[in-house]
Amino acid sequence: MDYLSIVLKVIVSVGILNVWILRRSKPTAYRGQSAQTLSEEFAVYGLPAPVYVAVGVLKVGLALALLVSLWLPGLTQPAAYGLGALMGAALVMHLKVGDPAIKSAPALVVLAMCLGIALL
Tens place of pLDDT per residue across the chain (120 aa): 699 999 999 999 999 999 999 999 999 999 999 999 999 999 999 999 999 999 999 999 999 999 999 999 999 999 999 999 999 999 999 999 999 999 999 999 999 999 999 998
Task: Judge if pTM exceeds 0.85.
Answer: yes
Radius of gyration of the chain (CA): 14
Other beta carbons within 10 angstroms of residue 108's beta carbon come to 15
**CB of 36 closer than 8 Å to CB of 27:** yes
Query: So what's the pLDDT on residue 120?
Result: 87
